[in-house]
Amino acid sequence: MALETLLAQALPVRAPPPPPRRALVLMGGGARTAYQVGVLQALAGLLGPGAFPFDVVIGTSAGALNAAFLASVADEGTAAFERLAAFWARLRSGHVYRLSALRLGRPNLLSAGLTLLRQVRHHRALLDSQPLVETLQRALELPRLAAALQDGHLTALGVTASSYTSGEHWTFVQARAGAFEPWHRPGRRAEAQVIGIDHLLASAAIPFLFPAVPLWVDGRREYFGDGSMRQLSPLSAAIHLGARQILVIGVGQPQRATLAGAAEGEPGAGTIAGHALASVFHDTLQADVEQAQRVSRALRSLPPALAQALPYHPVDVLAIQPSASLDALAREHAEALPPATRHTLAGLGALETRRGGNGSAAALASYLLFEPPFVHALMQLGRGDALRHAAALRALFAAGAAPASVP
Protein backbone atom coordinates (compact mmCIF):
# COMPACT_ATOMS: atom_id res chain seq x y z
CA MET A 1 0.00 0.00 0.00
CA ALA A 2 1.37 3.41 -0.93
CA LEU A 3 2.56 5.73 1.83
CA GLU A 4 0.10 8.46 0.85
CA THR A 5 -2.76 5.96 1.09
CA LEU A 6 -1.69 4.93 4.59
CA LEU A 7 -1.45 8.55 5.70
CA ALA A 8 -4.78 9.43 4.15
CA GLN A 9 -6.48 6.50 5.90
CA ALA A 10 -4.97 7.53 9.24
CA LEU A 11 -6.36 11.06 8.97
CA PRO A 12 -9.95 11.77 10.01
CA VAL A 13 -12.42 12.39 7.21
CA ARG A 14 -12.91 16.14 6.96
CA ALA A 15 -16.13 17.90 6.17
CA PRO A 16 -16.57 19.17 2.62
CA PRO A 17 -14.63 22.45 2.30
CA PRO A 18 -16.51 25.68 1.72
CA PRO A 19 -16.71 26.86 -1.89
CA PRO A 20 -13.52 28.66 -2.96
CA ARG A 21 -13.68 32.30 -1.99
CA ARG A 22 -11.75 35.37 -3.08
CA ALA A 23 -10.70 37.86 -0.40
CA LEU A 24 -9.57 41.47 -0.29
CA VAL A 25 -7.33 42.40 2.64
CA LEU A 26 -6.72 46.11 3.27
CA MET A 27 -3.93 47.07 5.66
CA GLY A 28 -3.78 50.22 7.81
CA GLY A 29 -1.88 53.49 7.61
CA GLY A 30 -4.04 56.58 8.14
CA ALA A 31 -4.21 58.89 5.12
CA ARG A 32 -1.81 56.58 3.28
CA THR A 33 -4.69 54.17 2.65
CA ALA A 34 -5.88 56.41 -0.19
CA TYR A 35 -3.27 54.40 -2.11
CA GLN A 36 -5.58 51.37 -1.84
CA VAL A 37 -8.34 53.28 -3.61
CA GLY A 38 -6.11 53.87 -6.64
CA VAL A 39 -5.23 50.16 -6.82
CA LEU A 40 -8.91 49.23 -6.69
CA GLN A 41 -9.82 51.81 -9.34
CA ALA A 42 -7.31 50.21 -11.70
CA LEU A 43 -8.64 46.77 -10.81
CA ALA A 44 -12.17 47.89 -11.72
CA GLY A 45 -10.86 49.05 -15.08
CA LEU A 46 -9.19 45.68 -15.68
CA LEU A 47 -12.28 43.68 -14.73
CA GLY A 48 -14.88 45.91 -16.34
CA PRO A 49 -18.50 46.26 -15.17
CA GLY A 50 -19.77 43.29 -13.22
CA ALA A 51 -20.52 41.78 -9.84
CA PHE A 52 -18.49 42.65 -6.77
CA PRO A 53 -15.33 40.57 -7.28
CA PHE A 54 -14.64 39.60 -3.66
CA ASP A 55 -16.48 37.23 -1.33
CA VAL A 56 -14.62 38.33 1.78
CA VAL A 57 -13.32 41.79 2.72
CA ILE A 58 -11.00 42.25 5.71
CA GLY A 59 -9.79 45.66 6.92
CA THR A 60 -7.38 47.00 9.48
CA SER A 61 -7.17 50.56 10.83
CA ALA A 62 -8.01 53.06 8.07
CA GLY A 63 -8.12 50.04 5.77
CA ALA A 64 -11.13 48.92 7.82
CA LEU A 65 -12.92 52.13 6.86
CA ASN A 66 -12.29 51.34 3.19
CA ALA A 67 -13.39 47.73 3.73
CA ALA A 68 -16.64 48.68 5.47
CA PHE A 69 -17.48 51.28 2.81
CA LEU A 70 -16.98 48.74 0.02
CA ALA A 71 -18.90 46.00 1.82
CA SER A 72 -21.87 48.29 2.38
CA VAL A 73 -22.17 49.00 -1.37
CA ALA A 74 -21.16 45.55 -2.63
CA ASP A 75 -24.53 45.25 -4.37
CA GLU A 76 -23.25 47.88 -6.84
CA GLY A 77 -20.57 45.50 -8.14
CA THR A 78 -17.30 46.93 -9.42
CA ALA A 79 -18.91 50.40 -9.35
CA ALA A 80 -18.34 50.22 -5.57
CA PHE A 81 -14.69 51.12 -6.16
CA GLU A 82 -15.58 54.40 -7.85
CA ARG A 83 -17.99 55.14 -5.01
CA LEU A 84 -15.06 54.77 -2.60
CA ALA A 85 -12.88 57.01 -4.80
CA ALA A 86 -15.56 59.70 -4.77
CA PHE A 87 -15.67 59.54 -0.96
CA TRP A 88 -11.90 60.09 -0.74
CA ALA A 89 -12.08 62.92 -3.26
CA ARG A 90 -14.40 64.81 -0.89
CA LEU A 91 -12.41 64.00 2.25
CA ARG A 92 -10.44 66.62 4.17
CA SER A 93 -8.36 66.43 7.35
CA GLY A 94 -11.12 68.36 9.14
CA HIS A 95 -13.47 65.45 8.39
CA VAL A 96 -11.18 63.07 10.28
CA TYR A 97 -9.73 64.96 13.25
CA ARG A 98 -9.68 68.34 14.94
CA LEU A 99 -6.58 70.05 16.33
CA SER A 100 -6.63 73.49 17.96
CA ALA A 101 -3.08 74.83 17.99
CA LEU A 102 -1.64 77.46 20.31
CA ARG A 103 0.24 80.12 18.38
CA LEU A 104 3.22 81.47 20.33
CA GLY A 105 5.17 83.15 17.59
CA ARG A 106 7.00 80.94 15.15
CA PRO A 107 6.44 77.15 15.44
CA ASN A 108 8.50 75.74 18.27
CA LEU A 109 8.62 72.73 20.55
CA LEU A 110 7.08 74.62 23.49
CA SER A 111 3.95 75.70 21.62
CA ALA A 112 3.57 72.25 20.08
CA GLY A 113 3.92 70.62 23.49
CA LEU A 114 1.33 72.92 25.08
CA THR A 115 -1.06 72.29 22.19
CA LEU A 116 -0.80 68.55 22.55
CA LEU A 117 -1.11 68.70 26.35
CA ARG A 118 -4.34 70.64 26.01
CA GLN A 119 -5.62 68.15 23.44
CA VAL A 120 -4.96 65.22 25.76
CA ARG A 121 -6.79 66.91 28.62
CA HIS A 122 -9.89 67.50 26.53
CA HIS A 123 -9.96 64.44 24.26
CA ARG A 124 -7.91 61.69 25.99
CA ALA A 125 -5.62 61.74 22.95
CA LEU A 126 -3.56 64.10 20.85
CA LEU A 127 -6.38 64.57 18.34
CA ASP A 128 -10.14 65.02 18.62
CA SER A 129 -11.73 62.18 16.63
CA GLN A 130 -15.31 63.48 16.77
CA PRO A 131 -15.14 64.68 13.13
CA LEU A 132 -14.43 61.10 12.04
CA VAL A 133 -17.52 59.89 13.92
CA GLU A 134 -19.67 62.41 12.08
CA THR A 135 -18.06 61.61 8.73
CA LEU A 136 -18.70 57.88 9.11
CA GLN A 137 -22.29 58.48 10.16
CA ARG A 138 -22.86 60.49 6.98
CA ALA A 139 -20.88 58.38 4.54
CA LEU A 140 -21.47 54.76 5.54
CA GLU A 141 -24.63 52.85 4.76
CA LEU A 142 -24.01 49.95 7.14
CA PRO A 143 -27.65 48.74 7.09
CA ARG A 144 -27.04 47.85 3.43
CA LEU A 145 -24.33 45.44 4.55
CA ALA A 146 -26.83 42.96 6.00
CA ALA A 147 -28.78 43.01 2.74
CA ALA A 148 -25.60 42.52 0.67
CA LEU A 149 -24.74 39.47 2.78
CA GLN A 150 -28.23 38.03 2.63
CA ASP A 151 -28.51 38.54 -1.13
CA GLY A 152 -25.15 36.89 -1.84
CA HIS A 153 -23.20 39.91 -3.00
CA LEU A 154 -20.72 39.27 -0.18
CA THR A 155 -19.92 36.45 2.25
CA ALA A 156 -18.23 38.31 5.11
CA LEU A 157 -16.75 41.57 6.34
CA GLY A 158 -14.01 41.45 8.97
CA VAL A 159 -12.62 44.34 10.99
CA THR A 160 -9.55 43.96 13.19
CA ALA A 161 -8.66 45.77 16.41
CA SER A 162 -6.21 45.33 19.29
CA SER A 163 -7.39 45.12 22.89
CA TYR A 164 -5.52 47.33 25.34
CA THR A 165 -7.34 45.44 28.11
CA SER A 166 -6.36 41.85 27.32
CA GLY A 167 -3.54 42.33 24.78
CA GLU A 168 -5.33 40.09 22.26
CA HIS A 169 -5.83 40.91 18.61
CA TRP A 170 -9.47 40.58 17.57
CA THR A 171 -11.24 40.16 14.25
CA PHE A 172 -14.91 41.08 14.35
CA VAL A 173 -16.85 39.38 11.56
CA GLN A 174 -20.28 40.01 10.12
CA ALA A 175 -21.06 37.14 7.76
CA ARG A 176 -23.81 35.42 5.87
CA ALA A 177 -25.58 32.74 7.91
CA GLY A 178 -23.49 29.60 8.20
CA ALA A 179 -20.38 31.15 6.65
CA PHE A 180 -18.39 31.84 9.82
CA GLU A 181 -17.16 29.93 12.86
CA PRO A 182 -15.38 31.82 15.68
CA TRP A 183 -11.76 30.87 16.30
CA HIS A 184 -9.17 31.38 19.01
CA ARG A 185 -5.42 31.18 18.49
CA PRO A 186 -2.66 32.36 20.84
CA GLY A 187 -3.01 36.15 20.94
CA ARG A 188 -5.67 36.17 18.20
CA ARG A 189 -9.43 35.76 18.31
CA ALA A 190 -12.41 36.14 16.02
CA GLU A 191 -16.02 36.71 16.98
CA ALA A 192 -19.27 37.28 15.13
CA GLN A 193 -20.66 40.78 15.70
CA VAL A 194 -22.76 43.22 13.75
CA ILE A 195 -20.19 45.73 12.51
CA GLY A 196 -20.90 49.28 13.63
CA ILE A 197 -19.14 52.59 13.64
CA ASP A 198 -17.60 51.82 17.04
CA HIS A 199 -15.76 48.83 15.52
CA LEU A 200 -14.34 51.06 12.80
CA LEU A 201 -13.31 53.75 15.27
CA ALA A 202 -11.59 51.13 17.41
CA SER A 203 -9.75 49.63 14.45
CA ALA A 204 -8.56 53.07 13.29
CA ALA A 205 -7.62 54.42 16.75
CA ILE A 206 -3.91 55.09 16.11
CA PRO A 207 -2.20 54.91 19.52
CA PHE A 208 -1.75 58.30 21.22
CA LEU A 209 -3.31 60.13 18.26
CA PHE A 210 -6.87 58.86 18.79
CA PRO A 211 -8.59 57.72 22.00
CA ALA A 212 -9.23 54.07 22.82
CA VAL A 213 -12.74 52.81 22.01
CA PRO A 214 -14.76 50.46 24.27
CA LEU A 215 -16.31 47.33 22.73
CA TRP A 216 -18.14 44.42 24.32
CA VAL A 217 -16.46 41.00 23.99
CA ASP A 218 -17.06 37.84 26.04
CA GLY A 219 -19.72 39.68 28.00
CA ARG A 220 -17.40 42.41 29.24
CA ARG A 221 -16.19 45.78 28.07
CA GLU A 222 -12.64 46.04 26.78
CA TYR A 223 -10.82 49.05 25.33
CA PHE A 224 -9.46 48.77 21.82
CA GLY A 225 -6.97 50.56 19.63
CA ASP A 226 -5.54 50.34 16.14
CA GLY A 227 -5.76 46.91 14.54
CA SER A 228 -2.23 47.23 13.17
CA MET A 229 -0.85 46.68 16.67
CA ARG A 230 0.05 43.05 17.37
CA GLN A 231 -1.18 41.96 13.96
CA LEU A 232 0.90 38.82 13.69
CA SER A 233 -0.90 37.19 10.77
CA PRO A 234 -2.68 39.63 8.44
CA LEU A 235 -3.92 36.86 6.13
CA SER A 236 -5.29 34.65 8.90
CA ALA A 237 -8.88 35.94 8.93
CA ALA A 238 -9.26 35.64 5.16
CA ILE A 239 -7.91 32.07 5.19
CA HIS A 240 -10.19 31.11 8.09
CA LEU A 241 -13.11 32.40 6.03
CA GLY A 242 -12.26 30.06 3.17
CA ALA A 243 -10.28 32.33 0.84
CA ARG A 244 -8.44 30.54 -1.95
CA GLN A 245 -7.33 33.75 -3.71
CA ILE A 246 -6.28 36.81 -1.73
CA LEU A 247 -5.46 40.30 -2.92
CA VAL A 248 -3.80 42.24 -0.12
CA ILE A 249 -3.02 45.94 -0.44
CA GLY A 250 -0.56 47.39 2.05
CA VAL A 251 0.79 50.89 2.47
CA GLY A 252 3.93 50.07 4.43
CA GLN A 253 7.48 50.09 3.15
CA PRO A 254 9.92 47.71 4.88
CA GLN A 255 12.84 50.06 4.11
CA ARG A 256 11.59 53.61 4.07
CA ALA A 257 13.59 55.66 1.60
CA THR A 258 13.97 58.46 4.10
CA LEU A 259 15.79 56.17 6.52
CA ALA A 260 18.10 54.64 3.96
CA GLY A 261 20.75 57.33 4.26
CA ALA A 262 22.44 58.56 7.38
CA ALA A 263 21.00 61.85 8.57
CA GLU A 264 23.10 64.34 10.39
CA GLY A 265 22.21 65.53 13.86
CA GLU A 266 20.07 64.22 16.65
CA PRO A 267 16.50 63.22 15.64
CA GLY A 268 13.78 65.62 16.75
CA ALA A 269 10.46 64.79 18.39
CA GLY A 270 8.73 64.65 15.02
CA THR A 271 11.27 62.21 13.62
CA ILE A 272 10.89 59.94 16.64
CA ALA A 273 7.09 60.13 16.48
CA GLY A 274 7.14 59.33 12.77
CA HIS A 275 9.43 56.37 13.37
CA ALA A 276 7.18 55.13 16.20
CA LEU A 277 4.12 55.26 13.96
CA ALA A 278 5.99 53.51 11.17
CA SER A 279 6.78 50.77 13.70
CA VAL A 280 3.09 50.41 14.57
CA PHE A 281 2.22 50.06 10.89
CA HIS A 282 5.28 47.99 10.02
CA ASP A 283 3.12 44.92 9.70
CA THR A 284 4.22 41.33 9.17
CA LEU A 285 2.51 41.29 5.79
CA GLN A 286 5.48 40.30 3.66
CA ALA A 287 6.48 37.48 6.02
CA ASP A 288 2.89 36.22 6.13
CA VAL A 289 2.59 36.32 2.35
CA GLU A 290 5.86 34.42 1.90
CA GLN A 291 4.81 31.80 4.44
CA ALA A 292 1.44 31.30 2.74
CA GLN A 293 3.18 30.91 -0.61
CA ARG A 294 5.66 28.35 0.81
CA VAL A 295 2.90 26.27 2.40
CA SER A 296 0.82 26.43 -0.79
CA ARG A 297 3.76 25.20 -2.87
CA ALA A 298 4.26 22.32 -0.44
CA LEU A 299 0.59 21.35 -0.56
CA ARG A 300 0.58 21.38 -4.37
CA SER A 301 3.57 19.03 -4.39
CA LEU A 302 1.79 16.35 -2.31
CA PRO A 303 0.23 13.26 -3.88
CA PRO A 304 -3.44 13.96 -4.64
CA ALA A 305 -4.80 11.36 -2.18
CA LEU A 306 -2.85 12.85 0.69
CA ALA A 307 -3.57 16.45 -0.28
CA GLN A 308 -7.32 15.75 -0.36
CA ALA A 309 -7.20 14.19 3.12
CA LEU A 310 -5.44 17.11 4.76
CA PRO A 311 -7.53 19.89 6.34
CA TYR A 312 -5.58 22.53 4.38
CA HIS A 313 -5.67 23.94 0.89
CA PRO A 314 -3.34 26.06 -1.25
CA VAL A 315 -3.92 29.80 -1.28
CA ASP A 316 -2.92 32.15 -4.09
CA VAL A 317 -1.80 35.50 -2.68
CA LEU A 318 -0.96 38.70 -4.51
CA ALA A 319 0.37 41.58 -2.41
CA ILE A 320 0.61 45.10 -3.80
CA GLN A 321 2.46 47.85 -1.91
CA PRO A 322 3.70 51.34 -2.86
CA SER A 323 6.62 51.44 -5.27
CA ALA A 324 7.65 54.95 -4.15
CA SER A 325 8.39 56.54 -0.78
CA LEU A 326 5.20 57.81 0.84
CA ASP A 327 7.28 59.83 3.31
CA ALA A 328 8.82 61.76 0.43
CA LEU A 329 5.42 62.16 -1.19
CA ALA A 330 3.99 63.58 2.05
CA ARG A 331 6.85 66.05 2.31
CA GLU A 332 6.07 67.34 -1.20
CA HIS A 333 2.47 68.06 -0.15
CA ALA A 334 2.98 69.16 3.47
CA GLU A 335 1.79 72.69 2.66
CA ALA A 336 -1.71 71.27 2.11
CA LEU A 337 -2.01 70.39 5.81
CA PRO A 338 -4.51 72.47 7.82
CA PRO A 339 -2.72 75.47 9.40
CA ALA A 340 -3.09 74.20 12.98
CA THR A 341 -1.72 70.78 12.10
CA ARG A 342 1.11 72.24 10.03
CA HIS A 343 2.05 74.66 12.83
CA THR A 344 2.11 71.87 15.44
CA LEU A 345 4.08 69.43 13.29
CA ALA A 346 6.55 72.16 12.40
CA GLY A 347 7.03 72.85 16.12
CA LEU A 348 7.82 69.17 16.61
CA GLY A 349 10.32 69.27 13.76
CA ALA A 350 8.07 66.92 11.78
CA LEU A 351 8.24 68.97 8.58
CA GLU A 352 12.00 69.42 8.48
CA THR A 353 13.28 69.72 4.93
CA ARG A 354 16.77 71.16 5.33
CA ARG A 355 19.59 69.07 3.97
CA GLY A 356 20.93 68.05 7.37
CA GLY A 357 17.49 67.17 8.72
CA ASN A 358 16.23 63.64 9.06
CA GLY A 359 13.67 63.26 6.28
CA SER A 360 11.82 60.55 8.21
CA ALA A 361 10.17 63.36 10.15
CA ALA A 362 7.76 63.71 7.22
CA ALA A 363 6.45 60.20 8.01
CA LEU A 364 4.24 61.62 10.76
CA ALA A 365 2.57 64.01 8.33
CA SER A 366 1.84 61.17 5.91
CA TYR A 367 -0.66 59.62 8.33
CA LEU A 368 -2.53 62.91 8.88
CA LEU A 369 -2.57 64.44 5.39
CA PHE A 370 -6.18 63.82 4.34
CA GLU A 371 -6.03 66.61 1.78
CA PRO A 372 -6.69 66.43 -2.00
CA PRO A 373 -3.12 66.98 -3.29
CA PHE A 374 -1.72 64.10 -1.22
CA VAL A 375 -4.80 61.89 -1.65
CA HIS A 376 -4.76 62.32 -5.43
CA ALA A 377 -1.02 61.60 -5.58
CA LEU A 378 -1.51 58.43 -3.57
CA MET A 379 -4.38 57.27 -5.75
CA GLN A 380 -2.35 57.96 -8.89
CA LEU A 381 0.53 55.92 -7.46
CA GLY A 382 -1.87 53.10 -6.61
CA ARG A 383 -3.33 53.05 -10.11
CA GLY A 384 0.13 52.95 -11.63
CA ASP A 385 1.32 50.14 -9.36
CA ALA A 386 -1.82 48.09 -10.09
CA LEU A 387 -1.34 48.47 -13.83
CA ARG A 388 2.29 47.37 -13.46
CA HIS A 389 0.88 44.15 -11.98
CA ALA A 390 -2.00 43.84 -14.46
CA ALA A 391 -0.95 40.35 -15.55
CA ALA A 392 -0.79 39.14 -11.95
CA LEU A 393 -4.19 40.66 -11.18
CA ARG A 394 -5.80 39.04 -14.23
CA ALA A 395 -4.27 35.70 -13.25
CA LEU A 396 -5.59 36.01 -9.69
CA PHE A 397 -9.10 36.57 -10.99
CA ALA A 398 -8.92 33.73 -13.51
CA ALA A 399 -10.74 30.71 -12.10
CA GLY A 400 -8.33 28.20 -10.61
CA ALA A 401 -5.22 30.05 -11.74
CA ALA A 402 -2.34 31.22 -9.58
CA PRO A 403 -1.16 34.83 -9.86
CA ALA A 404 1.86 35.63 -11.92
CA SER A 405 5.06 36.20 -10.00
CA VAL A 406 5.56 39.79 -8.90
CA PRO A 407 9.10 41.24 -8.71
Our answer to whether residue 93 is catalytic in this structure is no
- The answer to whether the CB of 306 falls within 8 A of the CB of 7 is yes
The residue segments making up the domain with residue 301 are 19-252+281-352+359-398
d(CA 349, CA 126): 16
Note whether residue 92 is domain-resident: yes
Write down the catalytic residue from 55, 128, 226, 288: 226
CB atoms within 10 A of CB 221: 10
Note whether residue 342 is domain-resident: yes
CATH number at residue 342: 3.40.1090
pTM of the full structure: 0.86
Note whether residue 168 is domain-resident: yes
Note whether residue 320 is domain-resident: yes
Q: Tens-digit pLDDT profile for the chain (407 aa)?
A: 344 433 344 444 455 555 679 999 999 999 999 999 999 999 999 999 999 999 999 999 999 999 999 999 999 999 999 999 999 999 999 999 998 876 766 777 777 777 777 777 777 878 899 999 999 999 999 999 999 999 999 999 999 999 999 999 999 999 999 889 999 988 899 999 999 999 999 999 988 889 999 999 988 999 999 888 877 788 889 998 999 999 999 998 655 544 444 444 566 555 666 666 666 555 577 777 777 777 777 777 777 766 666 667 788 999 999 999 898 899 899 899 998 888 888 877 767 644 334 445 577 888 999 999 999 999 999 999 999 999 999 999 985 443 333 33
Our answer to whether residue 61 is catalytic in this structure is yes
Write down the catalytic residue from 61, 72, 325, 366: 61
How many independent structural domains does the chain possess? 1
Note whether residue 257 is domain-resident: no
Note whether residue 63 is domain-resident: yes
The confidence score (pLDDT) of residue 273 equals 61
Please, which residues have CB within 8 angstroms of residue 307's CB and are 6 or more apart in sequence?
299, 300
Dmax (CA) for the chain in angstroms is 85
d(CA 397, CA 180): 23
Note whether residue 385 is domain-resident: yes
Number of residues that make up the chain? 407
Note whether residue 34 is domain-resident: yes
